[in-house]
């Protein structure tokens, strides 16, 4: 059995230390702020009002493990003004606060910070109809290339010396920033750890409006396009939350238009960003059922990954297509006698790519959670856009069934499937590459460290290249990018306690998209961390490219801008430093990870920093950089005080 290093095992403990039910909950002390007031402790109040639904007895109720990675503020909001008002009616304010702190392990008092400043009324309705979005999806185009045209970006090699910080927005009540911003109409739309979605002023970072979702929003904010000549457009925004809800809200006002939960499973979540195409919204479904599987008394496992298609205007669900066509059935009980189920898993963690020419939607899947392993796990799948039917499947790794029980001692390992990993799923989205030699390739980067290119018509393998060593957190983790015949591949390869036959290669690597042949490699510097806790040199976050530049944020908290031709670092900034924030005060970033890669538009660069989960450095910043005037553009009198 594989063993996690102490560091990585500790990171998983932040997710499921209290899932071991009575064994953990009996020993876990209530937060000080909860016990300091009159009323039941958080544990007592939870047992009285909550556990009957959230410990697995009610199928549609989010499992306790989902609540534990929410912010304490989100849990309180759900009980006070959200969907759990009726269920929490018997709890006092003190008890609700105590439950939130008990579940999340966080402190309401410690996490509280001043609300970000609202835009002044003198700005009026600053929504600019003449500035529609340059892109409406996470991948910047339907093919998920994560490439931005130079004319849109407005930043080239010759401009880098003029980059300066314009503003820094500190997300309240947050230790991570996992939502990719969308830029349009002079605004920046972004989600947050505590479930708030903001419309920020692009120039100043002040808040035009705030929408309160049910839980953390880690997807990109998808914005509907409009005609720049329309004098009064009212476009919609789309996103998903941690509890598996998909939303549509007004981009102008933040008003809720519709909301739906496409999968009733208690551990269903939305991690990959929805994809919007010609009035249809394609929503990928994943789950965190691998976490409660660490409890030997948990009946593992019953979730199946899927894509759900919606009418974007009305919220009507048009179809849902599962990655495993067979519903889970009882299998042999685990070693402690708990019923097991299978097949399960094959979640879709990432944003689908859209192929309008073939009428297909492409997505890549994760591992199976329980035995038996299926032919659709760790795979690239082509779905019919109109019906959801599966056209073809390319499986990158066979017989990969794994959950968090596999790296624990008995009896906690009772739910580990017989395949026992290697947990080499696709965390990163696939892209559709139109190459100069006339090929159409669907390309996916896997946590194994391999890049796979398959024929878009048939799913047959065209080329395969090992770029990194691979590992539980990659290998390739959250996003590759392409422009022309250049494919850019970020590699994480952080230590995870396992032994691998290949050397680690954290950094940024370029391949020829037509053949998979290596072009150049940039190896991450190991001396930047200098012993800092939770600091690693690898690149986990999704990357972004223009014709000249590759923008890559690393787990060491440094944003680097590379040359597309050589990989050389042309500009960098350490985002873990302290920055003055909008509205006063200071805050700092941390590790840069997840799907929210950099966004470059109209001469401004937007990056998120902070990833306080899985043992990475916490932070809560959205940083906005712009170009200061060049000295040669001014007369001498302009340069004098």
Sequence-distant (6+) residues with CB within 8 A of 431 are 139, 143, 144, 145, 146, 353, 442, 443, 444, 480, 481, 482
HSE toward the beta carbon, residue 348, CA cutoff 13 A: 35
Confidence of residue 82 (pLDDT cuts 50, 70, 90): low
Least confident among 149-153, 323-327, 396-400, 632-636 = 632-636
Q: How many CB atoms lie within 10 A of CB 330?
A: 10
pLDDT at 12: 40
Task: Over range 142-167, report the average pLDDT.
Answer: 97
Contact 239, 197 (CB under 8 A): yes
Query: 532 versus 38: which is more confidently predicted?
Result: 532
Domain locations in the chain?
6-111, 143-180+429-628
pLDDT at 493: 95
Which tens digits make up the pLDDT trace of 99-109? 877 877 777 76
Q: How many CB atoms lie within 10 A of CB 500?
A: 15
Greatest mean pLDDT range, 28-37, 121-130, 160-169: 160-169
Sequence-distant (6+) residues with CB within 8 A of 26 are none
Q: Is the pLDDT of residue 176 over 80?
A: yes
Beta strands in 175-226, from DSSP E residues, in sequence order: 182-184, 187-190, 196-201, 207-212, 222-223
Alpha carbon 166 to its chain centroid, in Å, reads 25
May I ask the CATH architecture of the domain 143-180+429-628?
8 Propeller (2.140)
Q: Is the pLDDT of residue 121 over 80?
A: yes
Q: How many CB atoms lie within 10 A of CB 163?
A: 18
Which tens digits make up the pLDDT trace of 245-270? 999 999 999 999 999 999 999 999 99
Task: Over range 188-202, report the average pLDDT.
Answer: 96
């Amino acid at each position: 059995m594989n063993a996690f290093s102490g560091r990585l095992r500790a990171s998983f403990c932040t997710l499921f230390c209290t899932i071991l039910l009575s064994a953990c909950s009996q020993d876990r002390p209530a937060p000080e702020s909860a016990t300091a007031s009159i009323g039941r402790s958080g544990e007592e109040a939870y047992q009285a009002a909550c556990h009957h639904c959230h410990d697995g007895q009610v199928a549609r109720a989010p499992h306790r493990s989902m609540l534990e990675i929410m912010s304490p503020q989100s849990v309180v909001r759900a009980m006070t003004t959200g969907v759990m008002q009726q269920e929490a009616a018997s709890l006092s304010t003190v008890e609700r606060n105590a439950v939130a702190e008990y579940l999340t392990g966080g402190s309401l008092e410690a996490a509280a910070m001043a609300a970000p400043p609202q835009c002044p009324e003198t700005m009026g309705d600053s929504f600019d109809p003449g500035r529609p979005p340059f892109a409406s999806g996470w991948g910047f185009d339907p093919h998920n290339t994560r490439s931005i045209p130079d004319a849109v970006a407005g930043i080239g090699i010759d401009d880098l010396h003029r980059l300066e910080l314009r503003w820094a927005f500190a997300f309240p009540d947050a230790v991570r920033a996992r939502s990719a911003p969308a830029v349009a109409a002079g605004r920046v739309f972004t989600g947050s750890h505590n479930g708030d979605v903001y419309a920020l002023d692009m120039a100043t970072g002040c808040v035009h409006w705030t929408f309160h979702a049910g839980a953390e929003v880690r997807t990109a904010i998808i914005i509907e396009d409009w005609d720049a000549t329309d004098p009064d457009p009212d476009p919609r925004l789309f996103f998903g939350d941690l509890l598996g809800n998909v939303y549509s809200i007004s981009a102008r006002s933040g008003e809720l238009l519709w909301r739906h939960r496409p999968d009733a499973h208690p551990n269903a979540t939305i991690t990959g960003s929805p994809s919007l195409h010609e009035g249809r919204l394609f929503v990928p479904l994943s789950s965190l059922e691998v976490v409660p599987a660490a409890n030997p008394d948990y009946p593992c496992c019953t979730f199946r990954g899927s894509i759900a298609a919606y009418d974007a205007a009305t919220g009507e669900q048009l179809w849902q297509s599962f990655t495993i066509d067979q519903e889970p059935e009882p299998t042999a009980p685990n070693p402690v006698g708990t019923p097991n189920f299978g097949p399960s898993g094959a979640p879709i963690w990432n944003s689908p790519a859209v192929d309008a020419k073939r009428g297909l939607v492409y997505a890549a899947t994760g591992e199976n959670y329980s035995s038996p392993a299926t032919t659709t796990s760790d795979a690239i799948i082509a779905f019919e856009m109109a019906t959801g039917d599966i056209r073809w499947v390319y499986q990158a790794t066979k017989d990969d069934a794994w959950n968090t029980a596999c790296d624990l001692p008995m009896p906690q390992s009772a739910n580990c499937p017989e395949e026992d990993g290697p947990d080499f799923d696709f965390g990163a989205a696939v892209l559709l590459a139109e190459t100069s030699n006339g090929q159409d390739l669907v390309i996916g980067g896997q946590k194994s460290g391999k890049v796979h290119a398959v024929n878009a018509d048939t799913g047959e393998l065209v080329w395969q290249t090992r770029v990194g060593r691979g590992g539980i957190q990659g290998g390739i983790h959250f996003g590759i990018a392409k422009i022309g015949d250049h494919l850019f591949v970020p590699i994480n390869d952080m230590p995870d306690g396992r032994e691998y036959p290949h050397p680690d290669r954290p950094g940024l690597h370029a391949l020829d998209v037509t053949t998979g042949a290596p072009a150049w490699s940039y190896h991450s510097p190991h001396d930047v961390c200098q012993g800092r806790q939770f600091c690693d040199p690898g690149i986990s976050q999704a990357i972004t490219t223009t014709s000249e530049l590759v923008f890559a944020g690393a787990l060491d908290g440094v944003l680097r801008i590379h040359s597309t031709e050589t990989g050389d670092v042309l500009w960098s900034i350490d985002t873990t430093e302290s920055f003055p924030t909008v509205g006063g005060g200071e805050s700092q970033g941390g590790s840069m990870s997840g799907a929210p890669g950099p966004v470059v538009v109209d001469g401004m660069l937007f990056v998120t920093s902070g990833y306080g989960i899985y043992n990475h450095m916490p932070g809560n910043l959205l940083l906005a950089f712009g170009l200061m005037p060049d000295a040669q553009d001014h007369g001498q009198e302009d340069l004098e005080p």
